[in-house]
């Protein structure tokens, strides 16, 4: 999978984490139906590997499908076995190394310049600034792009629609969005509300502004 190309093309990674595996699966499928091309299922959710496996069967072999919260080599191997074709980590560690050995592209979690260099040495395709809001928001992204002007950064953590527009304007390749997009859908909540939020975020990545702030 060309993760870097997909991040540049689609600019949004939806992060699904829930306590209801059936609802989590429905959430994944609803996001894809609405046009979200990159979906990550966090391994911290209940029965996440089963959700990934079922989503892979439903989506077919060609749809991008990621596993998130990959911390260890065992996590990476399990995600690969379940059908994930990219992984997302919250930090630089054994999960990155094992995923690359398996041929899986990695969006690696970083906070500092030292983290960035470590992730690149391990072969990460893109860099997840996490937690982005606590790191300093769009201003911190701009600061990182000074010494690292050409690197693909993906802010994650506290990214609502307004913040997503600000990060993209600051030079983010894409944004990763969890609860501001997913809400309670992965726990059995309203899928129609999820569809509405999805359209809002897709407007942001296409136009650079939330729909309510854009032209009529």
Cα first-last separation, the chain: 37
d(CA 88, CA 78): 13
Catalytic member of 26, 40, 125, 166:
40
40 assigned to active site: yes
Catalytic member of 128, 166, 192, 213:
128
Cα distances (Å, whole numbers) of residue 33 to 37, 43, 120, 183: 9, 22, 33, 17
Task: Judge residue 84's burial from the number of C-beta atoms within 10 Å of its C-beta, 0-12 exposed, 13-18 middle, 19 or more buried.
Answer: buried
26 assigned to active site: no
List of E strands, the chain = 12-16, 38-42, 66-68, 86-88, 106-110, 126-129, 153-155, 175-177
CA dihedral 160, 134, 108, 147 (to 10 degrees): 110
Catalytic positions, written as ranges: 40, 128
């Amino acid at each position: 999978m060309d993760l870097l190309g997909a991040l540049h093309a689609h600019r949004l990674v939806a992060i699904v984490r829930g306590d209801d595996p059936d609802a989590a699966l429905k959430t994944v499928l609803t996001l894809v139906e609405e046009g979200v091309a990159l979906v990550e299922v966090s391994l911290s959710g209940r029965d996440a590997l089963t959700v990934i496996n079922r989503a892979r069967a439903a989506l077919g072999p060609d749809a991008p499908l990621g596993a998130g919260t990959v911390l260890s080599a065992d996590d990476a191997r399990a995600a690969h076995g379940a059908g994930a074709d990219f992984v997302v980590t919250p930090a630089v560690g054994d999960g990155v190394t094992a995923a690359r050995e398996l041929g899986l592209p990695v969006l690696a979690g970083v906070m500092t310049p030292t983290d960035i260099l470590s992730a690149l040495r391990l072969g990460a395709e893109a860099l997840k600034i996490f937690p982005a809001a606590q790191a300093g928001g769009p201003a911190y992204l701009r600061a990182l792009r000074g010494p690292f002007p050409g690197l693909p950064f993906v802010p994650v953590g506290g990214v609502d629609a307004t913040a997503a527009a600000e990060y993209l304007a600051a030079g983010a390749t894409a944004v990763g969005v969890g609860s501001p997009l997913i809400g309670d859908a992965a726990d059995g909540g309203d899928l129609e509300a999820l569809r509405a939020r999805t359209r809002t975020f897709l407007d942001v990545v296409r136009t650079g502004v939330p729909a309510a702030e854009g032209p009529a």
